[in-house]
Structure 1
Amino acid sequence: MKYISNFRNKKVLVLGLAKSGESAARLLDKLGAIVTVNDGKPFEENPAAQSLLEEGIKVVTGGHPLELLDEDFELMVKNPGIPYDNPMVEKALAKGIPVLTEVELAYLISDAPIIGITGSNGKTTTTTMIAEVLSAGGQKGILAGNIGFPASQVAQEATDKDRLVMELSSFQLMGIEAFHPQMAVITNLMPTHLDYHGSFEDYVAAKWNIQKNMTAQDFLILNFNQDLAKDLAQKTQAQVLPFSTKEVVDGAYLKDDVLYFRGEAVMAAQDLGVPGSHNIENALATIAVAKLSGISNRTIQESLANFGGVKHRLQYAGQVAGVKFYNDSKSTNILATQKALSGFDNQKVILIAGGLDRGNEFDELVPDLKGLKRMVLLGQAADRLKRAADQAGVSYLEATDVADATRKAFDQAGPGDIVLLSPANASWDMYANFEVRGDEFLATLAELKG
């Protein structure tokens, strides 16, 4: 860890706790900043705030008083999920106070070079794949960032012999200034989080921040299946290395069911440990990073063949009576569910879908639903999904929650069939997050096994 002096004796406001805010507060305190933490949760219900106060860090809880910003703060570090139209953030910006996220702090103190991964879908899987392949090749890949490990905490423990493999959300990337990865991957760009960003253009601009400080010595890995990526490739100082499943490119690509890197066959697509065309894209991005890092083909082959996926992202969860169960609770949009279905024979799939109603219909999902054995629908979006199922000619059942849906799906399945939880919707109508939703699926499967 670099003990930088950037924040010494500076008044810093950490807005919002959760894991990243708590980590940022402790790091800033360690670096000599005068830290105040502001979190909306009441103090008596806020163990993180209680712990920080015990360590001598000032905490203000139970609300966000605007007058707090009259205390001459020189910097705000905000939780990525807090939008920029939040009154506290707006007042900070109006006063000329820089507003950062904790990934900026991680960069400033990290001894380890950083590989940054962002995109609309596939971030978590690609980040995990890259870390595992690098580690298998003797270059310790350490997971950090949006994947659940606060970057500012992980960076404190990383050495110059490690590689910080950092998943980055658009929210995090809006709060950077100097952040500079040596390699970066953009898996794909689709219209998501528009309620936060306001427009697709602003969302893309936030993602594109990942490369803003990269130079001609750095590598930017882009998905050339998308024309948008080809256009963006003309607008960076970094060396662009493309990947594609549709054409031969000067990078990583799929040809005749074999994954190549610059003309060299690396492995057969069928040997990947996880199904689906989207996972071929994730593997190609991983191969690009691995080959640029000097990892051997044999190590890449063995790592990707043994890769078992990520919890809640097309996770193989086990089987009962010959029926296989896949937990894809992290599929919170239509594209993610389309990609999940692409890895299976629809005739054998009972799909569990539904969740928060965001007002969109599912017409574009209809072609991917055709041929399904059955659907089990739940949540606010069930009626909209019924219309899609009717268009696709698929019969369906309704369920009260994921546990009920899992049992009903199993009742409809026979040996060789697949029960797939891939909701195509956010979870917030019924569950705190997609992890809780996926955990209920796994717990119900455990009951079925018992």
Structure 2
Amino acid sequence: MKDIDTFKTKKVLVLGLAKSGESAARLLHKLGAIVTVNDGKPFEENPAAQSLLEEGIKVVTGEHPLELLDEDFAYMVKNPGIPYSNAMVTRALEKGIPVLTEVELAYLISEAPIVGITGSNGKTTTTTMIGQVLTEAGLGGLLSGNIGFPASQVAQTAQSTETLVMELSSFQLMGIDAFRPQIAVITNLMPTHIDYHGSFEEYVAAKWNIQKNMTADDVLILNANQDLAKDLAEKTKAQVVLFSTKERVGGAYLEDGLLYFKGEAILSASDIGVPGSHNIENALATIAVAKIRGVANQVIQKVLMNFGGVKHRLQYAGDVAGVTFYNDSKSTNILATQKALSGFENDRVILIAGGLDRGNEFDDLVPDIRGLKAMVILGESKERVKRAAQKAEVGYVEAEDVRDATQKAFDLAEKGDVVLLSPANASWDMYANFEVRGDEFLATIEELKG
């Protein structure tokens, strides 16, 4: 990693732990900063804080005392999930303390070039595809960021011959200063996380931060299926490369069932290893990155044809008695479920849907669920999801939880059918996160196999 003195002897407050905060605290300590960690979880229930204290890092746990900010900190590094409306963050900004996220630290120390991927949907799959293609090509695609591997941790051992492939959330991108990827991808922009950002415009502004330091030497890859992306293309200093499933563009595109890059056929859309129109978009974005990095077509073909998906994102979960299961627990909004359904013939699908009730109706989902074999509905939002099923004239049953739903879906299925967990809702009414929800689905499938 680069030896930088940006934080040396500077007082830095790390607000919030989890994986990224713990990694940031250790890195800052290594860089010579005087680190204080502040986390809301009580010390006796906080193994990360206990470990950091043993390493000589000051920890303040159990509360967020505003007077802590009287200690003349030079920087705050906050957990991405903590909103800017948080009293500690607000007070830090009032005091003129720069508020960063740990991806900024990763950029400052990384010897490896960075490919940054953001967007509303598809970013995890696209990040994984890109990482696998670059690794297969010998360019060391190291996955990091929002995908589960703290960027500031991965960057510490990344070599100049490798590539840091970073999935970036809007929350992370709000906390950057000098961060600059060589290649950036915005998969799409849809209204989501409005409860955090306040408006779609503010959400887009946060995502758009990915390119704020890019120059004409860098490349920004945008989805030409969206008029918004075309408008944004006029507002960046970076070179713009487009991808599209609807029209021929000067980058990557779908035409007559083939995926092209600048007129050169790469592979057939039907050869991609995971189903769905959204995965064609993900593959096109991947092709664009790969070709810009000089990856050979046969390498791209090998990876995309054998791509098995990402856990909880339209993940093939096996077959039981001729019934195929797909785990799409990460589909926490309507758009993601619409995209998942596009990869299947509706009359063979039993859809498991429902979850946290955020007050929205599901009318937009009605055209996509019309013709489904059946639905299994669960969670706080089940009455709203049931209304959509009724409008689509789809039969349904109710379930208590994912385990019950999986069993009931299997009971409804016949050989050749697909059971798809794609909830269109967040998981927090019943589960800590979408991973736990998806893991229960996978565990139940293993029980059915037995």
Interval of TM-score (by shorter of Structure 1 and Structure 2): over 0.9
Distance 2:167 2:24 in 1: 17
Q: Which amino acid aligns with 1:288?
A: A
Structure 2 portions without partners, runs of 5+: none
The structural deviation recorded for 1:437 is 0.2
Q: Which amino acid aligns with 1:199?
A: S
The structural deviation recorded for 1:249 is 0.1
Distance 2:292 2:257 in 1: 22
Q: Report the counterpart of residue 252 of structure 2 in structure 1.
A: 252
**Aligned residues: percent identity?**
80
Please tell me the root mean square deviation across aligned C-alpha atoms, in Å: 0.3
Q: Report the counterpart of residue 7 of structure 2 in structure 1.
A: 7
Q: Report the counterpart of residue 359 of structure 1 in structure 2.
A: 359
Q: Report the counterpart of residue 79 of structure 2 in structure 1.
A: 79
Q: Report the counterpart of residue 189 of structure 1 in structure 2.
A: 189
SS of match in other structure, 2:156: helix
Q: Which amino acid aligns with 2:296?
A: S
Q: Report the counterpart of residue 25 of structure 1 in structure 2.
A: 25
Moved over 6 A (4+): none
Q: How does 1:234-253 map to 2 (within 5 A)?
A: 234-253=234-253
SS of match in other structure, 2:356: coil
Q: Which amino acid aligns with 1:119?
A: G
Q: Which amino acid aligns with 2:440?
A: E
SS of match in other structure, 1:330: coil
Distance 2:107 2:301 in 1: 31
TM-score, normalised via structure 2 length: 1.00
Q: Report the counterpart of residue 382 of structure 1 in structure 2.
A: 382
- Residue 409 (structure 1) aligned with residue 409 (structure 2): yes
SS of match in other structure, 2:106: helix
Q: Report the counterpart of residue 138 of structure 2 in structure 1.
A: 138
The structural deviation recorded for 1:54 is 0.3
Q: Which amino acid aligns with 1:446?
A: E
Q: Which amino acid aligns with 2:255?
A: K
Q: Report the counterpart of residue 223 of structure 1 in structure 2.
A: 223
Q: Which amino acid aligns with 2:137?
A: G
Q: How does 1:81-100 map to 2 (within 5 A)?
A: 81-100=81-100
SS of match in other structure, 2:447: helix
Distance 1:207 1:116 in 2: 11
- Residue 124 (structure 1) aligned with residue 117 (structure 2): no
Q: How does 1:314-333 map to 2 (within 5 A)?
A: 314-333=314-333
Q: Report the counterpart of residue 104 of structure 1 in structure 2.
A: 104
The structural deviation recorded for 1:258 is 0.1
Q: Report the counterpart of residue 61 of structure 1 in structure 2.
A: 61
Which string of whole-angstrom CA distances, capped at 9 and with x for unpartnered residues, describes residues 8-61 of structure 1?
Answer: 000000000000000000000000000000000000000000000000000000
The structural deviation recorded for 1:381 is 0.5
Structure 1 portions without partners, runs of 5+: none
The structural deviation recorded for 1:406 is 0.2
Distance 1:276 1:118 in 2: 20
Distance 1:277 1:66 in 2: 49
Distance 1:4 1:265 in 2: 44
Q: Report the counterpart of residue 438 of structure 1 in structure 2.
A: 438
Q: Report the counterpart of residue 397 of structure 1 in structure 2.
A: 397
The structural deviation recorded for 1:93 is 0.2
SS of match in other structure, 1:156: coil
Q: Which amino acid aligns with 1:360?
A: N
The structural deviation recorded for 1:138 is 1.2
Distance 2:61 2:221 in 1: 42
- Residue 232 (structure 1) aligned with residue 232 (structure 2): yes
Q: Report the counterpart of residue 350 of structure 1 in structure 2.
A: 350
Which string of whole-angstrom CA distances, capped at 9 and with x for unpartnered residues, describes residues 307-364 of structure 1?
Answer: 0000000000001000000000000000000000000000000000000000000001
TM-score, normalised via structure 1 length: 1.00
Distance 1:13 1:423 in 2: 38
Q: Which amino acid aligns with 1:123?
A: K
Which string of whole-angstrom CA distances, capped at 9 and with x for unpartnered residues, describes residues 401-440 of structure 1?
Answer: 0000000000000100000000000000000000000000
Which string of whole-angstrom CA distances, capped at 9 and with x for unpartnered residues, describes residues 234-281 of structure 1?
Answer: 000000000000000000000000000000000000000000000000
Distance 1:197 1:408 in 2: 38
Distance 1:401 1:377 in 2: 9
The structural deviation recorded for 1:117 is 0.1
Distance 2:138 2:37 in 1: 39
Which string of whole-angstrom CA distances, capped at 9 and with x for unpartnered residues, describes residues 157-200 of structure 1?
Answer: 10000000000000000000000000000000000000000000
Q: Report the counterpart of residue 168 of structure 2 in structure 1.
A: 168
Distance 2:364 2:97 in 1: 44
The structural deviation recorded for 1:137 is 1.0
Distance 1:198 1:448 in 2: 44
Query: Which has the larger displacement, 13-22 or 135-144?
Result: 135-144
Aligned residues: 450
- Residue 41 (structure 1) aligned with residue 41 (structure 2): yes
Distance 2:437 2:157 in 1: 32
Distance 2:3 2:41 in 1: 31
The structural deviation recorded for 1:3 is 1.3
SS of match in other structure, 2:154: helix
